[in-house]
């Protein structure tokens, strides 16, 4: 994606996803946005698979965007090839009382201040207005938008053979409601919507469900990347001493999974989970996370809540993998001595057992606020001595094999 491109009225900023760009006060908002975008996108994907006609599909998508995404209104319009270059309403959901009757819905090339949908169709790229109230370009329809309580809008062109034939528009009652990562995810949603409509129109529903739905799922998995970065950086801001810890754990865990012969889907899920396995720490006071001496029992008990908190945050997102359960269980131990629920081996997911070993090895080998790094030898001795007691035998064997025979390094 060309980040220098202006989508329209306002440039879509990077949203501060680099490590030095995220401000601590924005992390909670970014996390909520991540949950909203992923939940919306995954629900829409399910609707595309189950819908049996175009009208039902478009209506379902609009309703999901409003109800699941928490947006004010969503609608789909078709670009008509009539004299007025009008836009025909195909489906809508949300607050729109009188809105469509009182603005000029057209995609005429010469129209000034055309509606968002007209701009998206004419330009063939997303049209974003971050603040309807302060943007002079939207004057012809601003009054009606404000009357409905809209503060920002994004309109996404629906493309066929490289040409726009309609638009999907999403309105929010909040200003600056769409950051760049959300725009990318919603662009994917618009593309997938076109696939769904085309499949239904050509009576190839089953073929699409087996073919394009699979492609859509792959796109969805890739789209998690940007959102996962937000979650990862959120933890690192709260706990700077473990910067890179999650990513190193994720890398080791996914190598263990590969060595154990797990499926590629399981390997992908373990890596994604590893990157955000400590997300629950955002609810732990920073002074405890960075305390330069041993924790009190009360403080440690508070730390021990982070798997449950992390699982509660992540369960709202419909991941293709059991991410919330893996996060919840990554401090459980095979003899039942772990936390938060004291599960034993038969009740702990294999992915969680793998992540648990990787987490211990990385933590012991790295510096912590309350102690210097213990070193790799002690880390490997810990898992070796407790093989079959605290840690899964097969997972330990694989981890030791990586370091001792395959020259793995963090």
Read off the pLDDT of residues 153-185 as tens digits, 9 standing for 90 and up: 999 999 988 899 999 999 999 998 888 777 887
Q: How far apart are CA 301 and CA 235, in angstroms?
A: 19
Compare 281 and 202 and report the one with higher pLDDT.
281
Q: In what order do the strands lie in the sheet with 87-94?
A: 87-94, 73-79, 163-172, 152-160, 127-129
pTM as predicted: 0.61
pLDDT for 382: 97
Tokens 């929010």 belong to residue: 172
pLDDT for 320: 77
Which of 191, 398, 109 shows the shortest CA–CA distance to 408?
398
Q: Quick one: average pLDDT of 233-243?
A: 71
Q: Quick one: average pLDDT of 216-226?
A: 62
- If pLDDT is split at 50, 70 and 90, which confidence band does 329 have? very high
pLDDT 10s digits, 5-55: 444 454 443 333 333 344 444 556 666 676 677 778 778 877 877 777 888
- Which 3 state secondary structure label does DSSP give 212? helix
Dihedral sign for Cα atoms in the order 248, 251, 254, 256? negative
Q: How far apart are CA 270 and CA 197, in angstroms?
A: 34
Judge whether residue 1 has pLDDT over 50: no
Judge whether residue 199 has pLDDT over 70: no
Domains recognised in the chain with CATH numbers: 24-219 (3.30.450.40), 239-404 (1.10.3210.10)
- DSSP secondary structure string, 163-188? EEEEEEEEEESSTT---HHHHHHHHH
pLDDT for 251: 96
pLDDT 10s digits, 55-64: 888 999 999 9
Pairing of strands 152-160, 127-129: antiparallel
Which of 71, 41, 34 shows the shortest CA–CA distance to 172?
71
Which of 214, 178, 221 shows the shortest CA–CA distance to 199?
214
Q: Quick one: average pLDDT of 220-234?
A: 69
Q: Quick one: average pLDDT of 72-93?
A: 93
- If pLDDT is split at 50, 70 and 90, which confidence band does 214 have? low
Judge whether residue 243 has pLDDT over 70: no
Q: How far apart are CA 410 and CA 96, in angstroms?
A: 54
- Mean pLDDT score across all residues of the chain: 84
Which of 409, 309, 394 shows the shortest CA–CA distance to 353?
394
pLDDT for 319: 77
Q: Quick one: average pLDDT of 132-147?
A: 90
Q: How far apart are CA 85 and CA 83, in angstroms?
A: 6
- Which 3 state secondary structure label does DSSP give 341? coil
């Amino acid at each position: 994606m060309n980040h220098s491109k202006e989508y329209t009225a306002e440039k879509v900023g990077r949203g501060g996803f680099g490590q030095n760009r995220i401000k601590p006060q924005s992390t909670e908002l970014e996390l909520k946005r991540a949950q909203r975008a992923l939940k919306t996108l995954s629900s829409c994907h399910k609707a595309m698979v189950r819908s049996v006609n175009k009208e039902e599909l478009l209506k379902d998508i609009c309703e999901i965007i409003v109800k699941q995404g928490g947006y004010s209104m969503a609608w789909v319009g078709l670009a008509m090839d009539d004299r007025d270059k009008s836009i025909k309403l195909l489906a809508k959901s949300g607050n729109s009382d009188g809105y469509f009757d009182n603005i000029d819905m057209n995609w005429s090339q010469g129209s000034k201040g055309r509606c968002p949908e007209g701009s998206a169709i004419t330009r063939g790229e997303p049209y974003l207005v971050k603040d309807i109230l302060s943007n002079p370009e939207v004057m012809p329809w601003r009054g009606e938008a404000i009357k409905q309580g809209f503060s920002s809008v994004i309109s996404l062109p629906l493309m066929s053979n490289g040409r726009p034939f309609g638009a999907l528009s999403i309105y929010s009652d909040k200003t600056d409601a769409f950051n760049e990562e959300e725009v990318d995810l919603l662009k994917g949603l618009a593309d997938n919507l076109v696939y769904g409509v085309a499949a239904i129109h050509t009576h190839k529903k089953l073929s699409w469900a087996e073919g394009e739905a699979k492609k859509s799922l792959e796109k969805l998995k890739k789209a998690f990347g940007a959102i996962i970065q937000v979650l990862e950086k959120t933890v690192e801001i709260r706990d700077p001493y473990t910067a890179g810890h999650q990513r190193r754990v994720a890398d080791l865990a996914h190598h263990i999974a590969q060595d154990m012969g797990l499926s590629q889907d399981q390997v992908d899920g373990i890596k994604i989970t590893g990157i955000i396995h400590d997300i629950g720490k955002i609810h732990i006071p920073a002074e405890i996370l960075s305390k330069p001496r041993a924790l009190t029992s009360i403080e440690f008990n508070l730390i021990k809540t982070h798997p449950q908190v992390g699982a509660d945050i992540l369960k709202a997102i419909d991941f293709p993998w059991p991410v919330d359960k893996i996060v919840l269980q990554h401090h459980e131990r095979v003899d039942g001595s772990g936390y938060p629920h004291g599960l034993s081996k038969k009740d702990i997911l294999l992915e969680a057992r793998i992540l648990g070993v990787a987490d211990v090895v990385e933590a012991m080998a790295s510096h912590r606020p309350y102690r210097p790094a213990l070193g790799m030898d002690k880390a490997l001795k810990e898992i070796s001595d407790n093989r079959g007691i605290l840690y899964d035998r097969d997972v330990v064997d694989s981890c030791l094999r990586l370091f001792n025979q395959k020259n793995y390094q963090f």
